[in-house]
Structures are given as structure tokens and as C-alpha cells.
Amino acid sequence: MSSIAILHRQAQQALINKDYQQAHQYLLALLNLDSEFSDAYFLLAMIASDHHNNLQAIELILKANQLTPDKAEYLAQLARLYVLENQHPKALTHAKVACGQTITNATILDTLGVVFSKLGRHSDALPLFEQAIDISPNNSEYYFHYGASLKFCGHFNKARDAYEQAIKLQPHHVKAHSALSSLGGISEKHNHIPRLVAQYQRETEVDNKLHLGHALAREYEALNDYQTAFSFLNQVKQDKLQAIDYDFSQDKELFSSLTEAFTTQQNTFSAGHQSSEPIFIVGMPRTGTTLVERIISAHSNVSTAGELQHFGLLLKQLSNSQTNKVIDKTTVEAATSIDMAQLGKAYIESTRAQTGSHQHFIDKMPLNVLYAGFIAKALPNAKIICLDRNPLDTIVSNYRQLFSVNFSYYNYAYDLETCSQYYDLFKQLVATWQQVLGDNFYVVNYEQLVNDPKQQAKKLIEFCGLPWQDSCLSIDKNSAPVATASALQVRQPISNKSIGNWKKYQAALGNIVGKYQ
């Protein structure tokens, strides 16, 4: 075996062992012998990726791909990295080229499936996960990824089977346990409570207990045992709150800075980009944003791009703010000097992996409500629809929801009191947006919508500047994937049965009830 082949194998093994320093030395020695050995650049990229240096990793893979064009493994990892860097059009381009190759490696297929899933193209992801499972049927993670895309596409029974298989292969797969409980179908005879309790009692890691506690809460809720459900929620959320550095005053400072920026500096912003494609649906989470998305996306002139983080990330980038949060007071202040036309144009271009096929597209990231002022400046022809829901239903629904555990902007949801305080800040901010943003900011009341869906839906469609279509009321026939916590509910006809759900937890709400009644 040649020296190059030996060094290559040694580098691969060192990388598998996460001995990055040794792997790096082997690869530099290899490149000293052959500066055009493409896989050396690729393996250096994997070292960079494991250390979260995505841009360096992308540069290295591009070099590898230049030396050995269109190798599926290179393209799949390149697509994954572009997704992480929020460069979705580039991710889609490379993923499509990779899928044009003959792929027999399950890891590559799963990586591509995850890329398509992250791009909101769950129908494209399904066959890739299926191929990965055929090749490697004992990998629990492949079944978990497959189950998520099945759920988002509305194939709930198949999703249950996939999650069960993931748990069978890896009994401690807490995210699979949690996802399975979100699919409903729970009864006295058919539930997962004994299995979940046993796993919960064994678990010591805070985030894992958080997933299991939420799963148990959903299972007990289905059995109408709200006291036990709340006890699990309360315990795991308090444990999580103690494990993080969260201070509600930071949220208060952020909201104040937004109000200040748009009440004292209204006339200092530059002109925006003139595209009228986007329809932003915003509000607090769990207030009906997905329902409104389903109504509007059922229109033949509208597609949905899902919940995009693009606008906030681009605003952060263009503001040159160096703080460690995507949005905070410093970033808001810096963003008032951004070239708004550049921001608007960059946002539209960043969505092209998901958009461009219809006259309009929906961006349904609820917390874009924080950016509504900047959206209105960067995209003055965009429509912004904001959901308003009963305060107690909003607070309880946010408390019951397990949001991304690594996304600090949902930290308020670990405590009922901060949920209430956050809701108050939200209402004050919406009042500001109504005052300063004009006719392109529209507030829709959730209770009015579900109690009188036809009339309210017609107002929504009219606000979007579209002709009425009866299909907009048949959300249960809308086949587009739904990658939100409401994936199950919005596959059913419009209903008002969620109104007043807070009363099930009234005993635990204490003084919060009197605050809003």
C-alpha cells in the first residue's frame, strides 16, 4: 500500500475517533505528497465542520469538488453546510446534483433527506430516507428522520410505525418518544405512559427529561388527567429554567428597543425593495398562525415556504452587530442604518429554494413579529398578518409547547409567569406596529376566525389582494406539508374546539387568571 493510501486510511480512522489533531497532521502530510488529493480537502472540511467552522468547511469541499467533480458525498455535505449557513438556494442546487448520482451509501442518502427536510421539501426527503433504511435497516436515526417527514406530509400512521421502529432500535431515543406522543391516538387502553415513566425515571440529563416530561404531559392530557400532566410539565420546565441563564429583563429591553426605533426614527430608514411576493404570518406561537397559513396557501396564487429564519439572520448579518444573539437591543439599534432595499432583495433571493413558483409565498415564522417594523421598511409591498388570541389560551398553549431547546428566544415559555409577561410585551408591540406600519399590517382574531371562518377568511384573502376561492376554507384538503406543532390539527376541518383550553389548567394558573378577566 502506498504512503498516500496509508495516510488517507489513518486520517479517516483518526477522524472517526475524533482525534482531530492527529487527523489534521495525517492530512497535511498527505497533501505534502499529493496536493491534488481531493479527499484530503474533504476530510479537512469535516474537521472544520465538527468545530462549527462552516464557511471554512464549505471552501474546502468546494476545492475537493473541483478536483473530483460531483461526488455525491461531497455534494451532500456541501448542501448540509449551506443549509446551516442559511444559504438555501445553494443547498438545493447541490442536493439536486447529488441526487442525480447513483448512491448506495445510507449516510449520504440520510444526509440528503435531512437537507430536503430542512428546506421544507419533505416529499422529496421521503424516498431518500426510505432508500437509507433499505440499505441500513438497523439505524434508529434514519427511522426518526423518516417519521418526521411522514408526519409533516400527513402520513400519521406510517409516522407512528417509523417512530416505534426508532424506539425499538434505540429504547432511549427521547425525541422519538416525544414525537410519537404528538401524533395522538392515545386512550386508556392504548398509551405509552408505562414506557415513558420508566424512561423518565432513568433519565438524568435535563433536556432529555424535558422531552419526556412533555410527552407524558400530552399522554395524560389525552386521558383528561390535567393535574398529573401539569406536574410533569412544571417539574421539567423548572429544571430547565435552573439550568440556563435566563433573565426576563433582556426580553423587556428588546421590546423596548423595537418600540423606540420605530416611534422616534420612523423617517430615518432608507427605501426598501419593491417585491410584493411575501406574505408574513406572525404572532406569538400557538395562536393560529398555521391555520391562517393553510387558509391562504390553499389559494392557487400562493405557495408556502414554511417557517423561515432568513429575515432575522440577514438583518443580523447586514447590521454588522457582533453580539451573540440574533436580535437584541444592540442589533436593533445597528439595524436602523441598514440599506433596506439591500435587505429586502437579499431576503427574496434567500427564499428561492422554496419560492418563485407562485405569485405570492408565505413565510410563517411567528416570531417575525419582532421584525415586523423592519419587514415593512425592507419590503414595503409585503403583507404582514398578525394573530391575536385569548391571552389565557395563548399563555397556557405556549407553556405546554416544547420549543427548540437551543433557541433562547423561547426561554420565556419555561415559566407561566414569564409567559404572561411576554404576552403583555407582545400586545404592546402589536399596538405599536398598528400605529406605525399602516395598511399592510393586519391583525386577525383567532376566536373570530374559527367561529366565523368564511367571513374572516374572505377578509384575509382580500387583505392579500387576491380574488376569493372556495378552496381556502377546505384546509383539510390542503396537501402541502406542515412542519409545525399543528401538523395534526390542520389536517382537519376548521374548528373552534380549542377555544377555552386554558380552563383545563385553571387550578395551576393562580393569579394569572384574574389578570386577564
pLDDT category at 482 given cuts 50, 70, 90 is low
Helix 88-99, helix 340-350: angle, nearest 10: 20
Is the domain of 329 the same as that of 465? yes
Which stretch of 201-215, 295-309, 486-500 has the lowest confidence by average pLDDT?
A: 486-500
pLDDT category at 508 given cuts 50, 70, 90 is very high
Q: How far is residue 78's CA from residue 91's CA, in Å, rounded to a whole number?
A: 7
Q: What is the 3-state secondary structure (H, E, C) of 121-132?
A: CHHHHHHHHHHH
The tens digit of pLDDT for each residue in 262-272 reads 998 666 789 99
pLDDT category at 389 given cuts 50, 70, 90 is very high
Above 90 in pLDDT, residue 479?
no
Q: What average pLDDT score do residues 361-383 get?
A: 97
Q: How far is residue 412's CA from residue 212's CA, in Å, rounded to a whole number?
A: 20
Instruction: Say if 156 falls within a structural domain.
Output: no
pLDDT category at 493 given cuts 50, 70, 90 is confident
Q: Are 405 and 205 in contact (CB under 8 A)?
A: no
pLDDT category at 494 given cuts 50, 70, 90 is confident
Is the domain of 216 the same as that of 264? no
Instruction: Say if 351 falls within a structural domain.
Output: yes
Instruction: Say if 283 falls within a structural domain.
Output: yes
Q: Which of 217, 243, 269 is the last residue of a domain?
A: 243
pLDDT score recorded for residue 477: 76
Instruction: Say if 233 falls within a structural domain.
Output: yes
Q: Are 157 and 185 in contact (CB under 8 A)?
A: no
Q: How far is residue 303's CA from residue 368's CA, in Å, rounded to a whole number?
A: 18
Instruction: Say if 130 falls within a structural domain.
Output: no
Q: How far is residue 283's CA from residue 483's CA, in Å, rounded to a whole number?
A: 17
Is the domain of 309 the same as that of 202? no
Q: What is the largest CA-CA distance in the chain?
A: 79
Is the domain of 226 the same as that of 280? no
> Closest by alpha carbon to 200, among 224, 222, 226, 174?
174
The tens digit of pLDDT for each residue in 34-47 reads 999 999 999 999 99
All residues at 6 or more sequence positions from 255 whose CB lies less than 8 Å from its CB, including other chains = 425, 428, 429
CATH of the domain at 342: 3.40.50.300
pLDDT category at 2 given cuts 50, 70, 90 is confident
Is the domain of 391 the same as that of 501? yes
Question: What's the pTM?
Answer: 0.92
Output the CA angle 333-339-342, nearest 5 degrees. 130
Above 80 in pLDDT, residue 150?
yes
Q: Which of 243, 265, 294 is the last residue of a domain?
A: 243
Is the domain of 237 the same as that of 263? no
Q: What average pLDDT score do residues 232-256 get?
A: 96
* Domain extent for 400: 248-516
Number of domains in the chain: 2
Above 70 in pLDDT, residue 490?
no
Above 90 in pLDDT, residue 316?
yes
Instruction: Give the dihedral sign, CA 307/484/507/498.
Output: positive
Instruction: Give the dihedral sign, CA 401/405/407/410.
Output: positive
